Amino acid sequence: MPPPISVDVRDVSKPVAFYEKVFSVKPQKQVADYAKFDLKAPALNFSLVSSKQLGISLSGIKSRVQRGRKQLKRMLDDYCLIEFNESGGVIDYRTRSTNYDGCAPNGSCAADKS
């Protein structure tokens, strides 16, 4: 099962447009306070959720966002070669070749990470 990553946003519609371009797919499900992208490569369940729907504390949201960012960074590192400028901005990227089971060339698999 692909790892889930949920990002808290104030307004779901604006980030949906951004992530449609990043992932090159439309969300599988979208309602006013929620959008879900089921990605195949990298295998990932990515969702955008409005904080008012979550019903948890701000510290709980921050913890989830921090954990999700770490998972996303690991997956991007596994699947992409990213070149940064001096200030940390992305200036170029290439996808790494992967085999069809979702595993990166370094042997790590998205399903193995938590």
Torsion of CA 64, 85, 78, 68, to 10 degrees: 0
- Mean pLDDT over all residues of the chain? 77
Give start and end residues of each alpha helix (H) in the chain: 13-23, 51-54, 58-79
For the stretch 88-113, pLDDT in tens is 888 887 877 655 455 555 555 554 44
pTM of the model: 0.46
pLDDT tens, N- to C-terminus, the chain (114 residues): 677 888 888 888 888 988 888 888 899 999 888 899 988 877 788 888 886 655 666 677 778 888 888 888 888 888 788 888 898 888 887 877 655 455 555 555 554 444
The CATH class of the 4-112 domain is alpha beta
Residues counted in the chain: 114
- Tokens read off for 33: 């306070």
What's the rounded Cα separation, in Å, for the pair 74 and 79? 9
Residue that is written with structure tokens 């992208």 in the block: 37
The one-character DSSP state at 82 is E
